[in-house]
Structure 1
Amino acid sequence: MNRSNRSNLLVLCSFVWVLSSSHLFAASWKVTYPKAAIDSDIMTNYPIELLSLALEQTGVNYELHPSSNLLTKVKALNRLEDNREVNLVWAMTNKQREEDLLAIRIPLFKGLIGWRLLMIRDDMSDRFRYIQSLEHLIKLSPIQGRDWPDTKILRSNGFDVVVNLGQDNLINMLATAQGDFYPRSLAEIWHELETLEGVEGLSVQPTLGIHYPSAVYFFVNQNNRPLAHLIEVGLEKAIKNGKFEALFQKTYQDYIERAKLRERTFYQLDNTFLPEQTPLQRKELWFQQALQ
């Protein structure tokens, strides 16, 4: 192909791209996400606000709707893979999920999901004062959801994890001494304690925590690349103009300050289930906390 023909081909490709992009951003988009069991759940409200912010940055017309039925995270991901009932789910990433679905690799919570504080029974507080190393902590049994990626991470680091299904069951297991502590992310532990009903004697252990790299992404069906591209463009714009960070700070700054991270010892865990494509090198995408 001579230079003239190559030039003409580039012009044609550019023209096609402009047309397709114009169609993409001129369309009206309907996004259906999994319905939450609790309307005031902070782990639902923040991603929806962020999704709305991202779509607003693109200038498209859009509608956001919850699914008709309540869906567990696993069921929602399965529905998304089958392209039924929902066309977007936010979830913690791992290698299998990124094989089954199309991930938009911008961590919605800036990695806060991997900053774990320990929910404990008050009568166990003295026991935790004597923990001086990760080896000491591993002798205790954490409680986690049966299908959660965190369960695999904890087990791969040597913990004997006690599992069950459903938040209420897990809280009750902790309250009835069926496990020793319940690691919850900095993004959710305070809200969960404040909204407990019928359970007393639980608190956040004040001096310890665990940390592992993790990311919650928006996922779409593998065949829905236009929606993935649209949301990614919007998120990147919100990152660049500071609106992403402003929403993050508005939602979580009080929780971050309440955690008093510099007064805690965090034990670092490996996350061997984290995909290689995780954008760890992009510092602006992650919560940065100097603990020294």
Structure 2
Amino acid sequence: MKGKLICYLMSGLILIFSCAEAMSASWQITYPRTISDEDKSTEYPLKVLALALEQTGVNYQLTPSEKYYSQGKNLSRLKDNREINVVWSMTDNQREKDLLPIRIPIYKGLIGWRMFLIREDMAERFKYIQNLDHLLKLIPIQGSDWPDTKILQANSFDVVTNINHSALANMLSNAQGDFFPRSILEIWDELASLKTKNKLVIQDSLGLRYPAAMYFFVNNKNRPLAHLINTGLEKAIENGQFDKLFNQTYRSYIEKSKLKKRKFYQLKNSFLPPLTPIDRKELWFNPGGF
């Protein structure tokens, strides 16, 4: 009996020391570098990641990769466990096969609510669109390695693409396509930063909507980091810090998008993985509740 008691005590001490060591360890986390210092697209995801890590109490350091890479290359480097050990990206079946997802949509699904950048001289044309079939006659522009491209193509759109994100707005300006669908959380800052030959504007009455989630992903073998991020996110959701950060960042964008006055055409997303937590209502944007 005495031997068993000593064994239990030793096991408990080992567990305590192991936990203490994990808490005191410094997590070195490398994320994809942006194309320029003016690109602010990483600010919110990094705030969410930092919030999650802070909820766990660990020491951590977030560092950008040495070079800028396209989204596809970032995902490949993460898969090969080369330099980058976390990315945030829209999920699909292939990405969840290649990488380990933390299945909490950091944009609460609004990555799938799309408004349109258009050339100013096309504004009148869009006033005559009365249904989805009318919109299908126009050509959208998207990134060649974006899941959105496959979604649009699967819904019968004839999509023109480019691997270079910065080239897409110029393609629209040069009439190589008719509209550029962007998330309601992205489109405002992107429009403000664009410098194109022909003026681009946000179309004021239409949009597309499809179920979509942007997750943090880590390498398939990096389960400790996945567990750490997931634990922190769940704590932040439970104590309200996640929603607080989301609302502080995006409330004004959502309000000026005037969602209730805009006609959103619903598309199917056949690439949405079966383990997407659709039933967890607290994870998704609710326009009525907002």
User: 1:140-289 alignment to 2 at 5 Å?
Assistant: 140-289=138-287
Segment of structure 1 superposing worse, 208-217 or 12-21: 12-21
Q: Measure the CA separation in 1 of the matches of 2:279 and 2:12.
A: 31
Q: Measure the CA separation in 1 of the matches of 2:89 and 2:14.
A: 34
Structure 2: stretches of 5+ with no match in the other structure? 1-7
* Conserved? CA contact 2:169–2:196, under 8 Å: no
TM-score (norm 2): 0.92
Q: Measure the CA separation in 1 of the matches of 2:218 and 2:116.
A: 32
Match of 1:113 in 2: 111
* Conserved? CA contact 2:103–2:276, under 8 Å: yes
**Displacement of 1:178:** 0.9
Q: Measure the CA separation in 1 of the matches of 2:16 and 2:284.
A: 33
TM-score (norm 1): 0.92
Q: Alignment partner of 2:274: what SS?
A: coil
Segment of structure 1 superposing worse, 149-158 or 239-248: 239-248
Q: In the superposition, relative to structure 1, how do residues 18 and 232 fare at CA in structure 2: closer, same or farther (>3 Å)?
A: farther
Write out per-residue CA displacement over residues 174-223 of structure 1, whole angstroms, 9 at most, x where no aligned residue.
11111110000111101001011244421000000000011111100011
* Conserved? CA contact 2:129–2:135, under 8 Å: yes
What percentage of residue pairs aligned between the two structures are identical? 57
Aligned amino acid, residue 66 of structure 1: P
Matched, 1:77 2:78: no
Q: How many residues align?
A: 283
* Conserved? CA contact 1:24–1:226, under 8 Å: no
* Conserved? CA contact 2:70–2:163, under 8 Å: no
Q: Measure the CA separation in 1 of the matches of 2:184 and 2:11.
A: 47
Matched, 1:59 2:90: no
Supply the RMSD in Å over aligned alpha carbons.
2.1
Aligned amino acid, residue 202 of structure 2: V
**Displacement of 1:167:** 2.3
**Displacement of 1:23:** 3.9
Q: Measure the CA separation in 1 of the matches of 2:11 and 2:127.
A: 65
Q: Measure the CA separation in 1 of the matches of 2:213 and 2:251.
A: 18
* Conserved? CA contact 2:170–2:196, under 8 Å: no
Match of 1:136 in 2: 134
Q: Measure the CA separation in 2 of the matches of 1:84 and 1:191.
A: 31
